[in-house]
A and B are shown apart, each in its own frame.
Chain A
Amino acid sequence: MREPIINKAQFTAKDLAGEDIRWCPGCGDYAILSQMKKMLPKLGLPKENFVFVSGIGCSSRFPYYLSTYGFHGIHGRAPALASGIKLANPDLKVFVITGDGDGLSIGGNHFIHLCRRNIDITVILFNNQIYGLTKGQYSPTSEQGQITKSSPFGSIEPAFNPVTMALASGASFVARSTDREQKHLGEMLLRAAQHKGTSFVEVYQNCVIFNDGAYSDITDTKLKKDNLLIMEQGKPYVFGQNSDKAVNWNGNKFEVVPYNESTKSNNLFTHDEHGLRATTEFVLAGLSEQPDLPTPIGVFRNEKRDTYEALLEKQIEFVKQNKGEGRLVDLFNEGHTWTVD
């Protein structure tokens, strides 16, 4: 398999312009596309090795807007197509672009099994908590009580947490970012793309038409600092207007503690993307579901694990060593044969 050679790419973000973009003005998707274009040249891979695969929905138009190989599939099934692509040619760098409806509702089954198998595919899930392309029905990540076209009295369904799903399904790299934190988003995309195995990035993305302001608590400049927690490897979970608070694990649950010169040296819980225990990892993923706790973004899990395709290649080599390279004449004459003269 080809190893990424940093900064050897023969193209720049400008070379990646695809078809005319047809997203609504102000859509959060633009920011993700822009960061993707900036990030791809950094991977050091030739442009022809990128394949973008998608399902159906606003986000799934993404492949058209890049001048790489692109396969716009059917609703929810991009992981299946992408898995086949990667099986046939492990040298390709394959991305799945999906949304909360595409990836977690109609495509939920494919998503969890992709994560389980750890095929080397990077999944970017645009989570706007709404069905946009079908014009505004509640999605599996819509908040309970949300008023939408299909829930005029409020949705009675609890929401999925995409990061929790990816973690539980066994994805080996799991991260979250938002369309507003561009630098952070760019970094998450890069790290996910560089990861070997199924990597997953949930991007909180604003739908200006059907669910505007869904993430205002972490995008509004006044509210943001008290509500957004940027997780960094080896560091405590510090947030707040003046970085004056921290989220700490008390052995039982996460709680907010003051963070200042005097408490700094206290034994605060620090982030470890390589080895969080299930208890902390899952509570962290759903942290903001508890009152007064911030929304964490960053890398939740980053672990090295054999990829599906590497294990498959290994098995093929193993069988070849035992049985030799398959020849048709041997295949045909296997088992009981007899001759008629």
Chain B
Amino acid sequence: MPNTDHKTQTLESVTIRFAGDSGDGMQLTGTQFTNTAALKGSDLITLPDYPAEIRAPSGTLYGVSGFQIQFSSEKVYTPGDAPDVLVAMNPAALKVNLKILKTNGIIIVNTDAFKRRNLELADYQSNPLEDGSLDGYQVFQVPIMSLTRNALEDLSLSNKEKDLCKNFFALGITYWLFTQSLENTLNWIEGKFHNRTDMLEANQLALKAGYSYALSTEMFATSYSISKAKKRKGRYRNVTGNEALALGFITAAKLTDKELVLGSYPITPASDILHFLSKYRHFNVKTFQAEDEIAGIGAALGAAYAGAVGITTTSGPGIALKTEFMGLAVITELPLVIVNIQRGGPSTGLPTKTEQADLMQAIFGRNGEAPIPVIAAQSPADSFWAALEAVRIAFKFTTPVLLLSDGYLANGAEPWRIPDPSELPAIEVTYASDAEQFAPYKRSLDTLARQMALPGTPGFEHHIGGLEKDESGNVSYMPDNHDKMVHLRADKIERIREFTSHPAIDGPEMGELLLVSWGSTYGAIYTAIEQLRKEGYTVSWYHLRWINPLPGNLENYIHNFKTVLVPEINLGQLSKILRMEYLVDVRGFNKIRGLPLSTKDIVEAAKSYLKG
């Protein structure tokens, strides 16, 4: 990196947000920044934030697509509440994101887009670059589009094609600002555009031009550097939550020496799992893009019955459709993992936004007494481990398992410490081996799992199905048998508690305030707890892994606090469950904005109880 007279200041952590039109390539720009920062050794978490429309009319407020990343020399747990730097490609992107920007934050704007038409589309009465409304921020006005065109003037491309490269120009500026190397992105462009050498050259030129522009115009007085994060030794790569789930399921199939069959129907924000898995045919992954959500789970259940690792992936509306099959999986007691990447509801709701409002649906949303264990992933990389654990329990207890993730975890990325395959936990699968003693609903005394036998095994022919059965697998409408089977199915799920590790309480076992949480709020609450403790408060925290069954040790703590506070992105669903289970007057902190909870809000909510 060329050295100039500029100062380089070292920061602990920075949050940067790229924002532009849906077609401006902001997700790509953000991903490139992420990978480059990760390679430099930063810890990070990302938050893609984009509209459901693929290409909303350009320049509009609802067409704004954003990508936020917090990168740091310390471990980070959230994508950052408020950005330090905003890259705004047009007025709409500025307007939508200005309110969350830190005071005195850096704004890099593409002035070429601040023309009358775009200002009108963004509902600006006057040009914010001229009317003083950006006072209090460090504004850097860059005609990104015309500079990109200038940089590419020797290339025989249309202006439209040249304009497609402007995001790389903007990226180049940020690379200079944060002393990042261009190499990773140059290589990526080379691989991506190897079939279009003109665009390859154009994008590389644009990136370099942006970098050189920042360097030579001395637009910034200071550039910033983030030291390498002190992380556990090992090899790392960035994964999104959906990617980590896919990796987890492939791994689980390998560990059980089985094929992986995914039955799935495209739905945002779960489709990426289908996309990832469909690339891995050489791992004996059979992806089946079904005709609808129902067939997706049906095929997965059929495959599970015939001996594969059966998985179905969807989001809330898809779960609604799969519900009847989930009941069949419960009564036939087959190992199956159902993944719900929760999004804003009800109905179609907010397809690309995050929410935690499907918890009640997961635990209770079926006809009859149909208990299903529910596990929640807590971070993008953790999704890998949640997938392994879900498959392990599905087989050990011959049961469907619901795995909850959400839009934020699914699309958010963080570094994943790559495990050594030989150190992964074993996944046990047991089949009946004595044909004389076999009956499909005979059970293990430990786990209450039923005996399984795969079709194709001689001497074990049997029937299963949605009608109530007795132990032999024959249909039975006898009152006592039904009562017994209903209890057995419920008791079996309760037994899972004895075969799973329980989270440890973080902080004292009694005191003024206990936070209880689940799923993707982990990062924001972690950071909030850290901050509260820095400020001298004493606070305890318990983050759930399994929500059904609840872990055994929570009972030991939950009664020991003056206040139990549950932050959730719903109207208090875990709160209700905890009240019901433990008869504790749980308080909720609930914001349902389609976004992760902010650390600041959680800190404030906690303080309001700590003061009293």
A residues with CB within 8 A of B: 18-19, 46-49, 51, 53, 56, 63-64, 67-75, 77, 79-89, 91-92, 109-110, 113, 312, 315-316, 318-320, 322-326, 328-329, 331-341
Q: Is the interface of B mostly helix, strand, loop or mixed?
A: mixed
The answer to whether the Cβ of B28 comes within 8 Å of any Cβ in the partner chain is no
Inter-chain CA distance A289–B386, complex, in Å, is 57
Q: Which of B39, B41, B184, B301 contacts A81 (CB 8 A)?
A: B301
B466 contacts A84, C-beta separation under 8 Å: no
Residue of A nearest to B286 (CB): A87
**Contact surface of B with A, Cβ cutoff 8 Å:** 35, 38-39, 41, 184, 228-229, 231-238, 247, 250-251, 254, 259, 261, 263, 280-284, 286, 288, 290-292, 294-308, 310, 324-325, 327-328, 332, 418-419, 421, 454-467, 474-475
Known: A332-B247, A336-B184. Is A83-B456 also a contact (CB below 8 A)?
Answer: no
A113 to B456, CA, bound (A): 26
Q: Is the CB of B238 within 8 A of A336?
A: yes
**B299 engages A84 (CB within 8 Å):** yes
What residues of B have a CB within 8 angstroms of the CB of A320 in the complex? 281-282
CA distance A110 to B295 in the complex (A): 7
Q: Within 8 Å CB of B292, what residues of A?
A: 109
B281 touches A315 (CB 8 A): yes
A288 to B454, CA, bound (A): 44
Instruction: Write the chain B residue with the least CB distance to A341.
Output: B233
Given contacts A64-B475, A84-B301, A89-B307, contact A48 B455 (CB under 8 A): yes
A-B contacts, 24 listed (Cβ < 8 Å): A49-B455, A69-B462, A70-B464, A71-B463, A71-B464, A80-B295, A81-B298, A81-B302, A84-B301, A84-B305, A84-B306, A85-B302, A92-B456, A110-B294, A110-B298, A316-B282, A326-B254, A328-B250, A332-B419, A336-B35, A338-B41, A339-B236, A340-B228, A340-B231
Distance in angstroms from B432 CB to nearest chain A CB is 13
Are B233 and A48 neighbours in the complex by a CB distance under 8 Å? no
Of B236, B324, B461, B474, the residue contacting A48 (CB under 8 A) is: B461
Is there an interface contact between A64 and B303, defined as CB atoms closer than 8 Å? no
Q: What is the chain A residue whose CB lies nearest that of B40?
A: A338
User: Measured between alpha carbons, how far is A53 from B286 in the docked complex, in Å?
Assistant: 21
**B523 CB → nearest A CB, Å:** 20
Q: Is the CB of B259 within 8 A of A48?
A: no
Contact present for B465 and A326 (CB under 8 Å)? no
Residues of A within 8 A of B475 (CB): 19, 64
Which residues of chain B are within 8 angstroms of A337 by Cβ–Cβ distance?
A: 235-237, 418
A75 / chain B contacts, CB cutoff of 8 Å:
324
A77 touching B307, Cβ below 8 Å: no
Residues of A close to B250: CB separation below 8 A? 326, 328, 331
Bound-state CA distance A319–B232 (Å) is 35
- A137 vs B29: C-alpha distance when bound (angstroms): 59
Cβ contact within 8 Å between B299 and A87: yes
Contact of B282 among A325, A335, A341 (CB under 8 A): A325
CA distance A227 to B38 in the complex (A): 77
CA A9 to CA B306, docked complex, whole Å:
22
